[in-house]
């Protein structure tokens, strides 16, 4: 509904904002010169802010790799720390022929907004814009300064986005001591009248590795014992099938304790799998946070069918528990063997904080106000976010992009998945929670 004096309600506008943003193709391939649309999306965001009187800066380390930063002055600018609210604008690739709708259509059907980025994470970008635009139209000022950051390149490690901002423009975040972003604040049903809301307090480290084997080139028809392809294939198979030992970190133990209480299941901290198994669609995500992981993702070798190449490579997406990066590297070297060289493609440390303090209390209160059955719980994210970059500035980072989800929706499967979509009611719930949260700081 639109009031002629104040403009559309945030809970109505968020749907249109999400759809418009999805229609801007911001596919991040991981290559600096083939990524598209980030500049267009950044200009669109800046225009939506400037329409309501919020000045925004566009910053880019390379042409087209553009992020947006804006600061909204709070009522108390002298004695209050600022809060950073951040979301990324880029998305992972999508193959249109695999989808029920075109991934950049922003279709509205069956009560969902469909498209690449619907949950990762143009929905949250739109929620933030809807809330801020609503404030500006009514003249509301938040209690403390709010810094908004809409970033490029998160899906490839944040080099040209959040890391660039943190390293080259730290002054933009002066006074920021806490931050919210992805991935957290979403619901998971445990009973008809109770839902867990997972608030991210930690995320695993990124340890992307390149493996390389060398051998003697030769003719494909001859007997050949020094084959680089064979060496790399055997190493990748050993690594890909390996399961690292279970290690329950304090943050994971905190989550499992809350979940055990909610489910009425006894927790054995040394053998948490029975509790994790009861989490249904959440089990793969939580199961990945109790151990280091290593998943081969790419292979490359050769240039002709009848030529044995002298070199073969593989890349492996490794994720390390807090403080376990060196341990993981040593285990990988042992598994692949002495004939395979190992080097980092990208390395970023794990991030963790604790589930306490006024910010956590305010998040929890905002969720309960909109959903009396809400049970906020801390959790560890198995992936990585821009929090890794912003935490280097001493900012305490949380994943809090609130959504109330239908009980039958496999939410985690939508991240980087086919037919990514976000429920309209979930978007509207998120706007209400975010507005309550930011007003109560």
pLDDT at 213: 96
Q: What is the C-alpha to C-alpha distance for residues 126 and 166, in angstroms, rounded to an integer?
A: 23
| Domains along the sequence of the chain with CATH | 2-183+385-439 (3.40.630.10), 205-348 (3.30.70.360)
pLDDT at 412: 81
Side-chain-side CA neighbours of residue 426 (13 Å): 25
pLDDT at 409: 86
Identify the weakest region by mean pLDDT among 3-12, 98-107, 136-145, 345-354: 3-12
Residue 5 has pLDDT above 70, yes or no: no
Strands (E), 40-162: 57-59, 67-72, 82-88, 108-109, 112-114, 146-151
Per residue in 343-368, pLDDT (tens digit) is: 999 899 999 999 999 999 999 999 99
pLDDT at 276: 78
Averaged over 19-36, what is the pLDDT?
86
Average model confidence (pLDDT) for the chain?
A: 91
- Please indicate whether residue 248 or residue 265 has the higher confidence score (pLDDT): 248
Per residue in 261-296, pLDDT (tens digit) is: 877 777 777 777 777 777 777 788 888 888 999 999
Averaged over 398-413, what is the pLDDT?
90
Nearest CA to 161 out of 169, 171, 151 is that of 151
Tell me the pLDDT band of 114, cut-offs 50, 70 and 90: very high
DSSP code of 182?
A: S
Q: What is the C-alpha to C-alpha distance for residues 13 and 32, in angstroms, rounded to an integer?
A: 33
What pTM was computed for the model? 0.90
pLDDT at 292: 94
Tell me the pLDDT band of 33, cut-offs 50, 70 and 90: low
String of DSSP letters for 260-282: HHHHT----TT--HHHHHTTGGG
Listed in sequence order, the residues at least 6 apart from 114 whose beta carbon sits closer than 8 Å to its beta carbon are: 100, 101, 105, 106, 107, 108, 419, 420, 421
Tell me the pLDDT band of 34, cut-offs 50, 70 and 90: low
Please, what is the Cα angle at 201 between 199 and 203, to 5 degrees? Answer: 110
Edge to edge, the sheet with strand 421-423 lists 108-109, 112-114, 421-423
pLDDT at 284: 81
Write the Ramachandran bin of 235: left for phi over 0, alpha for psi from -120 to 50, otherwise beta. Answer: alpha
- Cα of first residue to Cα of last residue in the chain, in angstroms, is 28
pLDDT at 92: 94
pLDDT at 271: 75
Tell me the pLDDT band of 4, cut-offs 50, 70 and 90: very low
Strands (E), 382-438: 396-399, 421-423
Q: Dihedrals φ, ψ of 126, to 5°?
A: -70, -40
Averaged over 234-250, what is the pLDDT?
92
Nearest CA to 182 out of 87, 41, 251 is that of 87
Residue 1 has pLDDT above 70, yes or no: no
pLDDT at 275: 76
Q: What is the C-alpha to C-alpha distance for residues 409 and 246, in angstroms, rounded to an integer?
A: 28
pLDDT at 433: 97
Nearest CA to 278 out of 256, 254, 253 is that of 256
pLDDT at 50: 97
Percentage of residues of the chain with pLDDT beyond 70 = 97
Nearest CA to 363 out of 195, 200, 249 is that of 200
Listed in sequence order, the residues at least 6 apart from 419 whose beta carbon sits closer than 8 Å to its beta carbon are: 99, 100, 101, 114
Residue 432 Cα distances to 227, 245, 425, angstroms: 60, 42, 11
Per residue in 186-239, pLDDT (tens digit) is: 998 887 788 999 999 999 999 999 999 999 998 888 888 889 999 999 999 999
């Amino acid at each position: 509904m639109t009031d002629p004096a104040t403009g559309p309600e945030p809970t109505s506008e968020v749907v249109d904002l999400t759809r418009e943003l999805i229609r801007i193709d911001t596919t991040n391939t991981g290559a600096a010169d083939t990524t598209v649309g980030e500049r267009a999306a950044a200009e669109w965001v800046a225009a939506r802010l400037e329409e309501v009187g919020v000045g925004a800066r566009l910053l880019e380390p390379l042409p087209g790799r553009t992020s947006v930063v804006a600061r909204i002055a709070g009522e108390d600018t002298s004695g209050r720390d600022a809060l950073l609210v951040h979301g990324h604008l880029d998305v992972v690739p999508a193959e249109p022929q695999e989808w029920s709708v075109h991934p950049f259509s922003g279709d509205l059907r069956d009560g969902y907004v469909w498209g690449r980025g619907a949950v990762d994470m143009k929905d949250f970008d739109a929620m933030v814009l809807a809330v801020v635009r609503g404030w500006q139209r009514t003249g509301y000022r938040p209690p403390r300064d709010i810094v908004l950051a809409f970033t490029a390149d998160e899906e490839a490690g944040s080099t040209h986005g959040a890391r660039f901002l943190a390293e080259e423009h730290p002054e933009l975040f002066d006074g920021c001591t806490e931050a919210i972003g992805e991935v957290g604040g979403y619901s998971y049903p445990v009973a008809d009248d109770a839902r867990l809301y997972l608030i991210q307090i930690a995320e695993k480290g990124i340890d992307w590795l390149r493996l390389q084997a060398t051998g003697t080139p030769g003719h494909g028809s001859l007997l050949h014992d020094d084959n680089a392809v064979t060496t790399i294939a055997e190493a990748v198979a050993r690594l890909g099938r390996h399961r690292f030992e279970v290690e329950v970190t304090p943050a994971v133990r905190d989550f499992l304790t809350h979940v055990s209480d909610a489910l009425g299941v006894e927790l054995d901290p040394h053998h948490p799998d029975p509790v994790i198994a009861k989490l249904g669609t959440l089990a793969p995500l939580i199961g990945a946070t109790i151990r280091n992981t290593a998943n081969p993702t790419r292979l490359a070798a050769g240039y002709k069918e009848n030529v044995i190449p002298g070199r073969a490579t593989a890349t492996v997406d490794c994720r390390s528990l807090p403080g376990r990066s060196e341990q993981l590297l040593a285990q990988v070297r042992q598994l692949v063997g002495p004939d395979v060289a190992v080097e980092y493609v990208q390395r970023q440390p794990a991030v963790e904080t604790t589930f306490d303090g006024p910010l956590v209390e305010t998040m929890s209160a905002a969720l309960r106000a909109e959903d009396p059955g809400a049970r906020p719980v801390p959790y560890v994210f198995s992936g990585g976010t821009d929090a890794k970059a912003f935490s280097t500035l001493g900012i305490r980072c949380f994943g809090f992009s609130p959504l109330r989800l239908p009980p039958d929706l496999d939410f985690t499967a939508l991240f980087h998945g086919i037919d990514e979509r976000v429920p309209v009611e979930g978007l509207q719930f998120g706007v209400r929670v975010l507005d309550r949260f930011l007003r109560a700081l």
